[in-house]
């Protein structure tokens, strides 16, 4: 006998409204159909009424968790239209804020994930450490969540000496703490009971299903857009892609923890190489042409397509967010798991529904 | 005083960009620790007192939010957190956005900001508590909001 | 005339499109996304594929009233974006793996085909 | 039954929820401290119940609150029987009736979450009931009677001969208090895939009744642990308090597991532990009288 259990749109485990209709046969999921649209605002149409500078702020509010990297990617895409040379210092500041964003997003996810399998103290632990990152981000950018650091042509705020000291102090204090939570995620017996072997995707399957980010890398595919030529600053910073071979929820967790260390390393390297100079270059005129820009967000690769037609408004803005690419893989992962595992499997792709639906 | 010491909230994400949501969750975490005031983030509307709504209303979630509102037993208070929940915010004239939460259900308190800081949200909850007490004293019942699938507010 | 356009291979017919995409899949390309633009009364599709962090784009013009073929038979992950364009542009794709019939995002009350 | 008994019974009925409430408060406070938070006031559970009583009562099924009454009534009955040192087997059966009342109540609401939660709670009963029966059997073997009064009047504490059953009983305590890793049928904060499991559809006074029932249950379960060292009440209290602290600690360092895992644990490890203990008692013909 199959029972249909509505999972969402309002559900305590998922902070966001996504609805899954789960067909349950004897505690095992046999079918799942996601239903989207609870967060659809229609931002791709909204650019008609805003000029290309104002659109930066719209893009930052596509998602409040990966907001900095949305803004950075958008501005970089528009700069591509102008063929503009951006001061190096601005690029480094973008990297630092982007990695701060990744740090807080991954800690947030680790916490929510721990809550998903009922480990409340771990949830509180992760969120406690996340506040340290937010404090620094607030000092640098002026806001805890929506950073608004990037603008077309550069960044809007410079890093002061005091900010840099704060950043370095945060890196030093955060690293041992991440080691602590890593121990629990990797070694705790009950956590391993829940995660190991759950919702496994083979390397080939994850590749073909078009997944992105840690979902892809957790299956052994060393693909990270930070290594591409689109934004070559990462090559100078000694970036290394984090990969796990397991392909299950455990592997994806390990990838995200490794990326935390990687982000701290990147911030340190960026600070040590931080060049002096301007933080923005003036950009005049209206954009024409089309450009595709890709960067690596906490959740995976984001693709921005912008098209200008010589007016102050863009003609078309298209955002392919990482969760959008990962949701089809849920259809592959969910059948066969137990009902108790559904929140973990849904959370394992780090769903960001407001990204997906825009 | 019994109501003010044990406010259980249900957090409803309507059309939000997650910014306010994570700040609402951040209220519960060790730095802010809303449980000091007895605040519990309860998952089921039937046991909640305060409905914390983030994000504006769109055509798909309008019935969800009405449904949740109707399931909360009286006395109840609705707290709109963030610019979007208050007025629609930056997205107020998007094609799929109806507007603030008050277009659909009666809202008792607003927390402005994009996004509001956790301190502001806690302050909003405390403000909601006195409203909750007044509602209990005056025996004010929340009206049942009718579910009309086809209904579209006039100013949409 | 537009400057700095992205490189894209022009595809003339829908049969050729599906054949090219099948060829790309066997070459190990990943489906990244698809971009839909309004152009000359019809729609311009830009299919974006990715391999070894390099992009490959295909451009295909959908004539007014034409029902484009779905790619979701080849790449399952294409179904979400194609459903999205059914909603936003009022297109109808043929052979979708899961068809939300224009209600992925929108309900009967919402504005119809807002981007069209 | 004389006047003193009635007085004692009245005292138990009124004092037990206060102790249970304090225990719940201490539990929440310890949990908060373990999680690096300040935590709610000590009397928070009392405020919660008071608030729930003043709320509207929303029911999906007119009979669902009747099951809450049955749940609380049978809990009080089992607690009274424990205090009056009645037959331990009888106590276990009465206690089981109260648990079943809650399950039937959850089933009656018809919500899919409550239904799945209730069926998981049935699994929990399957898991811990054999251990409880063996616990009663151990008492019988040691004293020659199922009467609890024999344990209290004994010369040696029960724990000396039943250390393995004590370990099993701690796990049973964990299951019964619905603490992590066994909080799958319903959880305290409703943060799981089943929302609040079998209690999802309760609201207002109905929920308050369940909370009060929990208070009684805390005291009753303390009593079961207390029996292990009933000859000296002070040591008995210390042991039961330590057991509760241990359960709270476990709650904070584990994730939720599957009910299948719990069944495996209780039907292999715990059952073997208990049977080994029983076999030892049977062959050594030990007695604590």
pLDDT above 70 (res B148):
no
Q: Helix, strand, or coil here: A33?
A: strand
pLDDT above 80 (res C100):
no
The backbone torsions φ and ψ at residue A300, rounded to the nearest 5 degrees and listed phi first, read: 135, -160
pLDDT at C91 (0 to 100):
80
User: Residues A75, A280: contact at Cβ < 8 Å?
Assistant: no
Closest CB to B60 among C107, C111, C114: C107
Q: Do the two chains D and B touch, given a threshold of 8 Å on CB pairs and at least 3 pairs?
A: yes
Q: Which of A80, A290, A323, A332 to mutate to test the interface with C (most CBs of C within 10 A)?
A: A290
pLDDT above 80 (res A110):
yes
Instruction: Name the more confident of C80 and C109.
Output: C80
pLDDT at D189 (0 to 100):
62
Work out how many CB contacts closer than 8 A connect B with D: 84
Ordered by where they begin, the domains of chain B are 2-137 (3.40.50.12280)
Closest CA to A206 of A246, A242, A239: A246
Closest CB to D38 among B5, B33, B75: B33
Q: Which ipTM did the prediction report?
A: 0.82
Report whether the peptide linkage leading into residue A9 is cis, meaning its omega lies within 30 degrees of zero: yes
Contacts of B90 (CB under 8 A, 6+ apart): A57, A58, A61, B83, B84, B114
Please tell me what DSSP assigns to residue D269.
I
pLDDT > 70: percent of chain A? 97
CA-based nearest residue in chain B for residue A54:
B90
Give the tens place of pLDDT for each residue, D101-121: 888 888 887 777 777 788 888
pLDDT above 80 (res A2):
no
Q: Helix, strand, or coil here: A343?
A: helix
* B149 and chain D in contact, CB less than 8 A: no
Confidence of residue B144 (pLDDT cuts 50, 70, 90): low
pLDDT at A192 (0 to 100):
85
Are the beta carbons of A225 and C32 separated by less than 8 Å?
Answer: no
Instruction: Name the more confident of B155 and D171.
Output: D171
- Nearest-CA distance B59 → chain C (Å): 6
pLDDT at D289 (0 to 100):
65
Tokens of A331: 């259809």
Tokens of D283: 């062959």
Tokens of C37: 């633009």
Are the beta carbons of D55 and B74 separated by less than 8 Å?
Answer: yes
Partners of A24 in the beta sheet?
Answer: A3, A29
Those of residues 57-76 in D touching chain B at CB distance below 8 A are 57-58
pLDDT at D192 (0 to 100):
64
Identify the chains in contact with B, defined as 3+ C-beta pairs within 8 A. A, C, D
- Chain D residues whose C-beta sits inside 8 Å of any chain A C-beta: 31, 34-37, 112-113, 115-116, 180-181, 183-184, 187, 189-193, 195, 252-259, 261
- Tell me the mean pLDDT per 10 residues along chain D, length 289: 82 86 88 85 87 80 83 88 84 88 83 80 86 86 82 78 86 83 68 69 82 88 84 84 87 81 85 86 75
Q: Cα(B136)–Cα(D80) distance, rounded to whole angstroms?
A: 37
Give the tens place of pLDDT for each residue, B66-120: 888 888 887 888 888 888 888 887 888 888 788 788 888 888 888 888 888 888 8
Q: How many other C-beta atoms lie within 10 A of the C-beta of residue D54?
A: 14
Q: Cα(B39)–Cα(B6) distance, rounded to whole angstroms?
A: 6
Please tell me what DSSP assigns to residue B52.
E
Q: How many other C-beta atoms lie within 10 A of the C-beta of residue B26?
A: 21
Tokens of D149: 């009064």
pLDDT above 80 (res B137):
no
User: Residues A43, A58: contact at Cβ < 8 Å?
Assistant: yes
Confidence of residue B147 (pLDDT cuts 50, 70, 90): low
- Nearest-CA distance C54 → chain A (Å): 8
The backbone torsions φ and ψ at residue A12, rounded to the nearest 5 degrees and listed phi first, read: -65, -30
Work out how many CB contacts closer than 8 A connect A with B: 116
Are the beta carbons of C111 and B95 separated by less than 8 Å?
Answer: yes
Ordered by where they begin, the domains of chain A are 43-323 (1.10.645.10)
Q: Cα(A61)–Cα(A56) distance, rounded to whole angstroms?
A: 9
* A210 and chain C in contact, CB less than 8 A: yes
Contacts of B114 in chain A (CB under 8 A): 61, 146
* A132 and chain C in contact, CB less than 8 A: no
- Per-residue pLDDT, averaged over A115-124, amounts to 83
- Nearest-CA distance C80 → chain B (Å): 18
CA-based nearest residue in chain A for residue B54:
A16
Give the tens place of pLDDT for each residue, A70-83: 888 888 888 888 88
- Nearest-CA distance B58 → chain A (Å): 7
pLDDT at B2 (0 to 100):
64
- Per-residue pLDDT, averaged over C38-53, amounts to 81
Are the beta carbons of A12 and D191 separated by less than 8 Å?
Answer: yes
pLDDT at B150 (0 to 100):
43
* DSSP per residue, A168-187: HHHHHHHHHHHHHHHHHHHH
Confidence of residue C45 (pLDDT cuts 50, 70, 90): confident
Q: Cα(D202)–Cα(D199) distance, rounded to whole angstroms?
A: 6
Give the tens place of pLDDT for each residue, B3-60: 777 888 888 888 888 888 888 888 888 888 888 888 888 878 888 888 888 888 888 7
* B148 and chain C in contact, CB less than 8 A: no
Identify the chains in contact with A, defined as 3+ C-beta pairs within 8 A. B, C, D
Confidence of residue B156 (pLDDT cuts 50, 70, 90): very low
pLDDT at A248 (0 to 100):
86
Q: Which of B12, B13, B92, B93 to mutate to test the interface with A (most CBs of A within 10 A)?
A: B13
Give the tens place of pLDDT for each residue, A151-203: 888 888 888 888 888 888 888 998 898 988 888 888 888 888 888 888 888 88
User: Residues B41, A31: contact at Cβ < 8 Å?
Assistant: no
pLDDT at D174 (0 to 100):
85
């Amino acid at each position: 006998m199959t029972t249909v259990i509505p999972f969402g749109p309002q559900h305590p485990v998922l902070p966001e409204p996504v609805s899954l209709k789960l067909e349950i046969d004897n505690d095992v999921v046999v079918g799942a159909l996601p239903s989207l649209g609870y967060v659809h605002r229609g931002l791709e149409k909204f650019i008609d009424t805003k000029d290309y500078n104002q659109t930066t702020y719209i893009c930052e509010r596509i998602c409040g968790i990966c907001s900095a990297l949305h803004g950075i990617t958008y501005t970089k895409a528009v700069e591509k239209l102008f063929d503009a040379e951006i001061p190096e210092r601005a690029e480094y500041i973008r990297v630092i804020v982007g990695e701060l964003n990744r740090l807080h997003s991954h800690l947030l996810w680790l916490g929510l994930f721990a809550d998903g399998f009922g480990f409340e103290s771990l949830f509180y632990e992760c969120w406690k450490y996340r506040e340290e990152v937010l404090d620094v981000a607030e000092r640098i950018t002026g806001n805890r969540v929506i950073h608004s650091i990037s603008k077309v042509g550069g960044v809007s705020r410079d890093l002061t000496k005091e900010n840099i000291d704060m950043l370095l102090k945060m890196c030093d204090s955060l690293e041992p703490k991440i080691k602590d939570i890593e121990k629990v995620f990797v070694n705790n017996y009950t956590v391993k009971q829940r995660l190991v072997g759950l919702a496994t995707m083979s390397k080939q399957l994850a590749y073909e299903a078009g997944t992105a980010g840690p979902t892809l890398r957790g299956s052994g595919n060393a693909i990270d857009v930070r290594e591409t030529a689109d934004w070559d600053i990462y090559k100078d910073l000694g970036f290394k892609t984090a990969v796990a071979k397991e392909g299950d929820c455990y592997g994806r967790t390990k990838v995200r923890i490794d990326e935390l260390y990687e982000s701290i390393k990147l911030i340190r390297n960026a600070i040590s190489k931080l060049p002096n100079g301007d933080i923005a270059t003036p950009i005049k005129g209206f954009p024409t042409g089309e450009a595709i820009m890709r960067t690596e967000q906490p959740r995976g690769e984001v693709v921005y397509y912008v098209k200008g037609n010589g007016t102050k408004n863009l003609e078309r803005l298209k955002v392919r967010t990482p969760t959008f690419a990962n949701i089809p893989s849920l259809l592959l992962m969910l059948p066969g798991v137990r009902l108790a595992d559904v929140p973990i499997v849904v959370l394992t792709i780090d769903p960001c529904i407001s990204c997906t639906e825009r | 005083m019994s109501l003010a010491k044990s406010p259980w909230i249900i957090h409803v994400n309507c059309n939000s960009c997650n910014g306010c949501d994570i700040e609402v969750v951040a209220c519960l975490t060790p730095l802010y620790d809303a449980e000091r005031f007895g605040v519990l983030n309860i998952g089921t509307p039937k046991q909640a007192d305060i409905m914390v709504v983030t994000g504006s209303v769109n055509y798909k979630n309008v019935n969800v939010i009405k449904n949740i509102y109707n399931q909360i037993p009286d006395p109840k208070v609705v707290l709109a957190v963030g610019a979007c929940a208050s007025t629609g915010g930056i997205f107020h004239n998007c094609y799929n956005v109806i507007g603030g939460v008050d277009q659909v259900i009666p809202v008792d308190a607003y927390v402005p900001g994009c996004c509001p800081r956790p301190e502001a949200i806690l302050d909003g909850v405390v403000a909601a508590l006195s409203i909750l007490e007044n509602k209990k004293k005056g025996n004010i019942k929340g009206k049942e909001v009718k579910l009309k699938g086809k209904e579209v507010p006039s100013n949409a | 005339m537009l400057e700095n356009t992205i490189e894209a291979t022009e595809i003339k017919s829908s049969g050729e499109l599906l054949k090219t995409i099948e060829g790309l899949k066997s070459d190990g390309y990943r489906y990244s996304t698809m971009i839909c633009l309004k152009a000359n009364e019809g729609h311009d599709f830009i299919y974006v594929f990715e391999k070894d962090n390099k992009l490959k784009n295909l451009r295909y013009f959908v004539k007014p009233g034409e029902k484009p073929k779905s790619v979701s038979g080849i790449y399952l992950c294409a179904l979400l974006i194609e459903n999205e364009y059914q909603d936003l542009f009022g297109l109808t794709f043929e052979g979708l793996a899961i068809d939300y019939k224009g209600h992925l995002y929108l309900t009967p009350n919402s504005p119809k085909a807002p981007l069209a | 039954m004389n006047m003193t008994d009635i007085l004692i019974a009245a005292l138990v009925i009124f004092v037990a929820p206060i102790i249970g409430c304090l225990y719940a408060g201490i539990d929440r406070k310890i949990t908060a401290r373990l999680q690096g938070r300040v935590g709610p006031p000590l009397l928070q559970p009392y405020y919660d119940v008071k608030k729930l009583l003043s709320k509207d009562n929303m029911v999906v099924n007119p009979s669902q609150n009747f099951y809450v009454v049955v749940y609380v009534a049978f809990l009080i009955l089992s607690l009274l029987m424990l205090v009056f040192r009645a037959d331990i087997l009888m106590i276990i059966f009465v206690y089981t009736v109260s648990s079943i009342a809650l399950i039937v109540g959850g089933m009656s609401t018809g919500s899919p979450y409550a239904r799945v939660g209730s069926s998981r709670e049935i699994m929990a009963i399957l898991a811990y009931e054999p251990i409880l029966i063996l616990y009663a059997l151990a008492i019988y073997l040691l004293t020659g009677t199922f009467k609890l009064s024999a344990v209290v009047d004994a010369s040696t504490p029960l724990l000396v001969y039943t250390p393995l059953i004590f370990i099993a009983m701690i796990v049973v305590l964990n299951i019964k208090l619905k603490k992590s890793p066994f909080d799958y049928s319903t959880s305290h904060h409703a943060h799981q895939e089943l929302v609040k499991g079998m209690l999802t559809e309760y609201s207002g006074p109905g929920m308050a009744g369940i909370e009060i029932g929990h208070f009684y249950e805390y005291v009753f379960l303390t009593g079961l642990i207390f029996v292990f060292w009933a000859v000296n009440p002070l040591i008995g209290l210390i042991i039961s308090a330590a057991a509760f602290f241990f359960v709270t600690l476990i709650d904070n360092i584990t994730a939720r597991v599957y009910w299948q895992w719990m069944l495996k644990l209780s039907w292999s490890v715990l059952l073997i532990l208990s049977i080994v203990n029983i076999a030892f008692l049977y062959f050594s013909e030990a007695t604590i009288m």
